[in-house]
Amino acid sequence: MRRIGVFVCHCGINIASKVDVEDVTDFSSRLEGVVVSKDYKYMCSDPGAKLIKDSISEYGLDGVVIASCSPRMHEHTFRGVAEDGGINPYNVEITNIREQCSWAHEDRGEATKKAKSLVRAAVAKALLLEPLEKSRTPVTPEALVIGGGIAGMQAALDIADDGFKVHLVEKEPTIGGRMAQLDKTFPTLDCSSCILTPKMMETKNHPNIDLMTYSRVISVEGSVGNYRVKVLKKARYVDVDKCTGCGDCTTACRIAGHVPDPFNMNMGKRAAAYIPFPQAIPLKATLDPDHCLMLRFGKCGDGPLCVKACEAGAIDFDQKDQEIEINVGTIVVATGYDVLDAGKLFEYGYTRSPDVITTLELERLISSSGPTKGEVVLPSSNEKPRSVTFILCAGSRDETQCTWCCRIGCMSALKHVYLLREKLPCETEINICYTDIRSFGKGYEEFYRKIRGVGVSFFRGRPSEVRVSRKNITIDVFDTTTNKLFEIGTEMVVLVPALVPRADSEEFSRILGLSRSGDGFLLEAHPKLRPMDTFVNGIFVAGCCQGPKDISDTVSQASGAASRAAGILTKDELENDPLIAWVDPEVCVGCGVCVEVCAYSARKINEVTGIAEVDDALCAGCGACIAACPSNACTHRNYTKQQLVRMIDEVV
């Protein structure tokens, strides 16, 4: 006969205010198999743990029932306490009398009755619990980082510095990401490329980093410690070993100056052969298969001009996409963000006037490597604007578009005001229509104060409409500080659009098995306490793929994710949770139904014995195979049918 101890927690008043804890303790002491029953104010505290440990030795317990909060909170704690006390940690049963009892009910009498019933069922199960041992699997000491922006580079560098090999996969032909498109960064006004390019160089030269640009992750299998990843390396149609990055092909190209340039937010035009920007890494040319005449039609005038221009003979139209398989122990996802299509905001006139632009477009106009070589001009006339008006929260904090704050719009607009004051004549009128200025970071508020002093009119209100007439642009805005309706005439409008998840984020999250929050960004395991973890063990998130954030926060999160990832790689082996499926070899007929239903590829039919097996490392204990098994050969350890039926018997 088992010797069970029952420990009932007050959780301060969280449980005790609605459940008569003493009564539950007294009741449980009389249950079959229970030799001791105690209550305590905070069972998860040190004295609480000591109470359990001491009781184990004093009463010779071999099973423990804890009536407290959800097992999500403290299952781990109490299993550890039991192990310290000398019993198998899986001989602990937790019953939730807080979330599912005291918090959910009003009536003290009824809640107490329910708590008793829950404890009774838990004791019945504890009598049948099996001691379990953890199995172990070896760890592949390499990491995959997806995305080569500032987040991905930082994570890759940190893991590589810790001594592990890192595969960095970037879908564009160069690393650098969004930050490479920026001219200056707030609030310090550091030149973006000046602080970014050293990181890019470091990433390229690091002996532990295997850089895969112009590549995509197309499938991920396996589990923490051992992921098998397929990467599609797209054909550049340029032999990177021969290409010197001289750029001759980009000027020779027959359609040079005709292809919209996404790096310049389609404001400038490039050739079909291109190097995205002068500091690109790797500094190699790429042929754009959507525009290159040879790749589209197999013919380019009387012969491709890039081939003639390339002294190194690097152009190769026959190059094919390549599929590469890599094995890694852990993955950091840093795939970044997209900007809301401003055309969706019809009322703001982006589709009606070329002089309504977005922040990233202005960024490219300001940048000396941009389409105008740093001249800020009106796209319609190439003249300097005499007035510029910023509209903040374009699509952000808006129930019809994106409900969230983009967290960078206010500061980026303030930065642009500063830069425009440098670039444009002093009589240029600058206006900002804002919802409220969110200057929350270190040094941000000080920067805001500084900008208030450089001559800019602030209107607190969301414009109802940007009117584009044949003569001019006017903005209607109701200023809530003066309670007046203003009509602002302006030559240029800069929309500060919402940040949105990458267009392919749904497909991508499916490849990785990650969840997304309601806004579509990748979901962290806990918003406060596990902000870099995901619900998939061994996969971490960094940067804007998890939600909008500025560069400082992105880098912090990237380093955090890198350290979480490296933590796994430092281990030779990982322990597997033993609470998983188990197949009774005497009963299994090898029909294979479990193999089909398993979402984690944890099931296979042993070729020799012909019966089903469970891969301990891959099984997540979801229970799908148990429900599906037609011959009842499959059970979930410590959630056996016998145990569950006994629990139900006790409750009803």
Nearer to other proteins, 30 or 470 (CB): 470
Look at the block and give the residue holding tokens 């930050």: 179
Q: How far is CA 311 from the centre of its chain?
A: 44
d(CA 493, CA 509): 35
Which residues of 246-386 form beta strands (DSSP E)? 259-260, 269-270, 273-274, 286-287, 322-328, 330-333, 337-339, 356-358
d(CA 263, CA 166): 27
Among 468, 493, 555, 561, the residue binding other proteins under the rule CB under 8 A is 468
Contact assessment for residue 348 and residue 466, using Cβ atoms and an 8 Å cutoff:
yes
User: Whole-number minimum distance, CB 469 to other proteins, in Å?
Assistant: 4
* φ, ψ for residue 417, nearest 5 deg: -55, -45
Question: Exposure pattern of 330-360 as b/e (b: 16+ CB <10 Å)?
Answer: bbbbbbbbbbbbbeebeebbbebbebbbbbb
Binding of other proteins by 470 (CB under 8 A): yes
d(CA 199, CA 565): 20
Nearer to other proteins, 465 or 506 (CB): 465
Binding of other proteins by 442 (CB under 8 A): no
d(CA 572, CA 509): 28
Between helix 21-29 and helix 108-126 the angle, nearest 10°, is 30
User: Whole-number minimum distance, CB 380 to other proteins, in Å?
Assistant: 16
Among 302, 382, 400, 481, the residue binding other proteins under the rule CB under 8 A is 400
CA atoms within 13 A on the CB side of 326: 27
d(CA 602, CA 616): 7
Binding of other proteins by 485 (CB under 8 A): no
Could you tell me which stretch among 29-37, 373-381, 406-414, 461-469 binds other proteins (CB under 8 A)? Answer: 461-469
Nearer to other proteins, 41 or 352 (CB): 352
Nearer to other proteins, 111 or 488 (CB): 488
Binding of other proteins by 397 (CB under 8 A): no
Question: Exposure pattern of 39-60 as b/e (b: 16+ CB <10 Å)?
Answer: bbeebbeeebbebbbebbeeee
Could you tell me which stretch among 309-317, 346-354, 520-528, 641-649 binds other proteins (CB under 8 A)? Answer: 346-354
Binding pattern for the stretch 291-330 against other proteins, x by CB under 8 A and - elsewhere: ----------------------------------------
* φ, ψ for residue 135, nearest 5 deg: -90, 170
Binding of other proteins by 467 (CB under 8 A): yes
Among 188, 198, 296, 346, the residue binding other proteins under the rule CB under 8 A is 346
Binding of other proteins by 469 (CB under 8 A): yes
* φ, ψ for residue 475, nearest 5 deg: -120, 130
Nearer to other proteins, 344 or 637 (CB): 344
CA-nearest of 34, 108, 106, 109 to 65 is 34
User: Whole-number minimum distance, CB 620 to other proteins, in Å?
Assistant: 40
Coil, strand or helix: which one is 587? coil
User: Whole-number minimum distance, CB 22 to other proteins, in Å?
Assistant: 46
Nearer to other proteins, 43 or 345 (CB): 345
d(CA 556, CA 150): 11
Nearer to other proteins, 437 or 468 (CB): 468
User: Whole-number minimum distance, CB 204 to other proteins, in Å?
Assistant: 47
User: Whole-number minimum distance, CB 340 to other proteins, in Å?
Assistant: 15
Among 26, 83, 162, 347, the residue binding other proteins under the rule CB under 8 A is 347
Nearer to other proteins, 21 or 402 (CB): 402
Going 397 to 398 to 404 to 406, the CA torsion angle's sign is: negative
CA-nearest of 618, 225, 603, 186 to 409 is 186
If you ran DSSP here, which 8-state letter would residue 426 be given?
Answer: T
# chain residues binding other proteins, by CB under 8 A: 10
Binding of other proteins by 465 (CB under 8 A): yes
Nearer to other proteins, 466 or 565 (CB): 466
Among 197, 279, 474, 601, the residue binding other proteins under the rule CB under 8 A is 474
41: tokens are 């104010």
Contact assessment for residue 293 and residue 254, using Cβ atoms and an 8 Å cutoff:
yes
Longest C-alpha distance within the chain, in Å? 96
User: Whole-number minimum distance, CB 218 to other proteins, in Å?
Assistant: 39
User: Whole-number minimum distance, CB 467 to other proteins, in Å?
Assistant: 3
If you ran DSSP here, which 8-state letter would residue 129 be given?
Answer: P
Binding pattern for the stretch 352-381 against other proteins, x by CB under 8 A and - elsewhere: x-----------------------------
Residue type, 112: T
Binding of other proteins by 483 (CB under 8 A): no
Nearer to other proteins, 400 or 481 (CB): 400
Look at the block and give the residue holding tokens 């490392």: 617
Torsion angle of C-alpha atoms 150, 154, 160, 166, degrees rounded to 10: -40
Could you tell me which stretch among 136-144, 325-333, 462-470, 629-637 binds other proteins (CB under 8 A)? Answer: 462-470
Look at the block and give the residue holding tokens 């172990």: 136
Among residue numbers 27 through 46, which ones bind other proteins (CB under 8 A)?
none
Could you tell me which stretch among 402-410, 464-472, 496-504, 594-602 binds other proteins (CB under 8 A)? Answer: 464-472
166: tokens are 């890192």
Nearer to other proteins, 323 or 465 (CB): 465
d(CA 588, CA 625): 12
Nearer to other proteins, 29 or 474 (CB): 474
Nearer to other proteins, 489 or 590 (CB): 489
Nearer to other proteins, 400 or 483 (CB): 400
User: Whole-number minimum distance, CB 266 to other proteins, in Å?
Assistant: 22
Binding of other proteins by 486 (CB under 8 A): no
Between helix 108-126 and helix 641-651 the angle, nearest 10°, is 150
User: Whole-number minimum distance, CB 519 to other proteins, in Å?
Assistant: 20
Nearer to other proteins, 382 or 400 (CB): 400
Q: Enumerate binding residues for other proteins (CB under 8 A).
A: 346-347, 352, 400, 465, 467-470, 474
